Chains A and B, each alone.
Chain A
C-alpha cells in the first residue's frame, strides 16, 4: 500500500516536473528568439493604428468602434502566432521524441500552450489598455476589456493549437489554420467584445464573463486531448 502511494506520488512529481521543465524550455526558446515574441505585439498595435487612419480619427466614432477593433486585433495577433507553436519542434525532430515519451502527451501540450499564451495572450491583454486609450475607449470600459481578454485569449490559444497540430505536417499550414480555426473563434469574439460594450454602457458584464469562463473551462478540458490526437495523426503520415 505504501509502495503504491509512493509510486503514485513519484509519478505525480515527475508529471509536474515535466510540466515545469517544458514551460522553462518554451520560455527559454521564446526569449532567445525575440522576433517570435515581439511580432504578435507589433501586429496588434499596427492593426489598431490603421483604424483611425483608414476610417476616421473622430473620437466619438472611434470610441464606438474600440471594443470590436481591439478584440479583432487580439484575435488576429493570436492566430498569426499559432503556426509557430509546433512548427520548429516538427522540423528539428523534437516532436517525434515528444510522441514517443512514456509521459502523457497532454501534460506537455498543456505546458506548451500555457507558455505560448503567457507570451502572446497575456502580453496582448497587458497592452490592450494602451490601444483602448488610442481609440478613445471610455475609462469605464477598461476593466471589462482587460477581464474579457484575460478570459478569452487562453481559449483562443487552446483552440488555435488544435489547428496548429493538425496542420504541422503540411508545408504551408498557415492559411489552413485560419480556415480551420476562425469559425471556432467567433463565439469568443462575440462574447468578448459584448463584455467590453456592456462595461462601456454601464451594464453588468458578469454574464459575458461567465460565458467566456465556460468556454475556457471547456477548452481547457478538451483541447489538450484534441491537440494530442491531432499531433499523432500529423506525425503518422
Chain B
C-alpha cells in the first residue's frame, strides 16, 4: 500500500438522505491519470472535496503513501494541488497579483516562474490587467497557471476545462500527460472527451456505488 500515492477504502458518503457512494475503494499509483465519471449530481465534486480533505462528511479510510491522511495532513497538503469549481481568482487583482499570493501560500509553488506560467497559459500581455476585465475562460486560465507553477505530485482537478478553448484544452492535456510521465498523479472530472495519448483509468460513480478493492 505504501507504494500507492493515495488509497481509498470503504468510502461512504450520504447527502440529504441519498447515498452518493458506498464501499467505494480504489488506489492511485504514481504516474496514473484517473478520470472520475458520473452523471450530474452523482457526487464527483463531493468525492474530490473529500479526497482533498475539504469535506469531512464521509465514513471510510483514506491513506496517503500508506499513512492515514488525518495524521499526515501537512505533508499531504504540501503534495497536493487542488483546482476547484470556483477558480479562486480575485476579480480586482491582476493575474500576476493573484498568482503571487498563491506562491506565498504554497511553498511548492515557484515564485520566480509566474511570468513564464502566465505565458504558457496564453496570458502574456495581460499580466497587469485586472481580472474582472478578462473573459471567463481567461479567468480559468489564471487559475490553471498554477499547474505550471506547482511541483506537487498529486493534482485533483474539478472540471478544469470548463470555458477553455480547444487549443487550450489540448495544451492542458499535454501538461497532464507530462506530469504523469514524470511520476505525478492526476484525479480529474470533466465532461470533455479526453484526448490524452496515454492510459486514463476511469472510475464511474454511477456503477461504483457498491464496489470495493
A interface, CB within 8 angstroms of B: 14, 17-18, 21-22, 25, 28-29, 32-33, 88, 91-94, 96-103, 108, 235-237
- Judged by DSSP, the binding face of A is helix
Chain B neighbourhood of A32, CB < 8 A: 92-93, 130
**Residue in contact with A235 in the complex, picked from B54, B80, B130, CB distance below 8 Å:** B54
Within 8 A of A (CB), among B82-130: 82, 84-93, 97, 100-102, 104-108, 130
With contacts A97-B102, A100-B54 taken as known, whether A92 is within 8 angstroms of B86 at the C-beta atoms is yes
Q: How far is the CA of A28 from the CA of B60 in the complex (A)?
A: 43
Q: How far is the CA of A153 from the CA of B100 in the complex (A)?
A: 30
Contact call B104/A21, Cβ cutoff below 8 A: yes
Number of interface residues of B (CB under 8 A): 32
Interface contact tally, CB-CB below 8 A: 81
Q: How far is the CB of B148 from chain A (nearest CB, A)?
A: 16
Contact call B84/A93, Cβ cutoff below 8 A: yes
Contact call B93/A25, Cβ cutoff below 8 A: yes
B interface, CB within 8 angstroms of A: 52-57, 74-75, 77-78, 80, 82, 84-93, 97, 100-102, 104-108, 130
Contact call A94/B54, Cβ cutoff below 8 A: no
Contact call A92/B101, Cβ cutoff below 8 A: no
Q: How far is the CA of A18 from the CA of B101 in the complex (A)?
A: 8
Q: How far is the CA of A93 from the CA of B83 in the complex (A)?
A: 9
Instruction: Kindly report which residue of chain B lies nearest to residue A235, judged by CB atoms.
Output: B54
Contact call A96/B107, Cβ cutoff below 8 A: no
